[in-house]
Amino acid sequence: MITPSEITLENHPCFNREACSTHGRVHLPVAPRCNIQCNYCNRDFDCVNESRPGVTSTILSPGQAVAYLEKIMELREDIAVVGIAGPGDPFANPEETMDTFRRVRERFPSMILCLSTNGLGLTEEYVQELAALKVSHVTITMNATDPEIAGKIYAWARHDKMIRRGTKAGELMIEKQMQAIRWIKEYGMIAKVNSILVPGINEDHLPEIAKTVSAMGADIMNCIPLLPTKDTVFENLIEPDAKMRFATRLKCGEYMNQMTHCARCRADAIGKLSEPMSEDLNELIKGCSR
């Protein structure tokens, strides 16, 4: 049984800026499918030079992921965190996600474990097991608390074998995301809320999200500027400039702590936050998927 004191939570570089220069993280790309379509997401790239969420060089099974992690831990002393963040959504692939966490926890008892999800597929049963496995940091990406605004960001959401679109998709996502945040806090985990700042769509709305999730006990917010990506609905929108990012974080900061050093990482990111994917590590992860 792992006790929280054996896991040094301060070493998570995303949650503690001071740990950025000393500690790194590994994302295990075990979750290929997604249960929604965000209008900013394109997961069709697998290029070593592309660095953004949704990109990975390969997909690993849970067993391959642990074998890969073992090799990484032999090579690197800075890895303090193992996370699952796609390239789809962890809970559109719950078996793979939970199996991976169980195996990693058994093999690396003092590793910080974290995950990032859109919240739709997270159930109380999963949250309960995540807490038992000492998954300490959970990120919910929530882009609106108003269903109409959310409906402009999510093209569709699939739940219980039904597809919802527009405002209906927005309503469902908000309900599930709020519930997910409540459970995460109820089960004693650290809750981060990621909100993608989309100019002209939710740019004035992020403080409202901050106000709502802060009142629910969420710990920190990460306002992430949209990265306009080819072949997405939002490909022609502008990327928020420094002024817009600063103003948004300032307003959201009236309600809760802000993360300001997010690197918009790949689903197979490895190392310190600013570290690009190297050819060697790319070969290593690809080798583990064969």
* Contact set with ligand SF4 (CB under 6 A): 14, 25, 34, 36-38, 41, 54, 86, 88-89, 118, 222, 262-265, 273
Instruction: Count the helices and strands in the chain (H runs, E runs).
Output: 8, 11
Using the minimum distance from each CB to ligand SF4, give the nearer residue, 84 or 98: 84
Residue closer to ligand SF4 by CB (options 66, 142) is 142
- 115 forms beta bridges with 84, 138
Q: What is the C-alpha to C-alpha distance for residues 104 and 109, in angstroms, rounded to an integer?
A: 8
Nearest to 200 by CA among 167, 159, 263, 153: 153
- How far is it, in rounded angstroms, from Cα 17 to Cα 7? 18
CB of 126 to ligand SF4, least distance (A): 16
- Please say which residue, 36 or 66, places its beta carbon nearer to ligand SF4: 36
Minimal distance in Å, beta carbon 81 to ligand SF4? 8
Asked if residues 273 and 14 have their Cβ atoms less than 8 Å apart, the reply is: yes
Give the shortest CB-86-to-ligand SF4 separation in angstroms. 5
* Distance of closest approach, residue 216 Cβ to ligand SF4, in angstroms: 20
Strand, helix or coil at 270?
strand
CB of 1 to ligand SF4, least distance (A): 28
- Minimum CB separation of residue 193 from ligand SF4 in Å reads 11
- Please identify, using beta-carbon distances, which residue of 63 and 246 lies nearer to ligand SF4: 246
Containing 33, the helix (H) or strand (E) segment is none
Nearer to ligand SF4, 7 or 63 (CB): 7
Q: Tokens in use for 166?
A: 């527009």
* Host H or E run for residue 255: none
Between 64 and 118, name the residue whose CB sits nearer to ligand SF4: 118
- Angstrom distances, CA of residue 143 to CA of 18, 79, 105, 154, 188: 27, 30, 31, 9, 23
User: Least distance from C-beta 224 to ligand SF4, angstroms?
Assistant: 7
Q: Which is nearer to ligand SF4, 88 or 147 (CB)?
A: 88
Given a contact cutoff of 8 angstroms between Cβ atoms, the answer to whether 78 and 272 are in contact is yes
Spatial distance between the Cα atoms of 124 and 36, rounded to a whole number of angstroms: 20
Q: Are strands 135-141 and 190-197 parallel, antiparallel or unpaired?
A: parallel
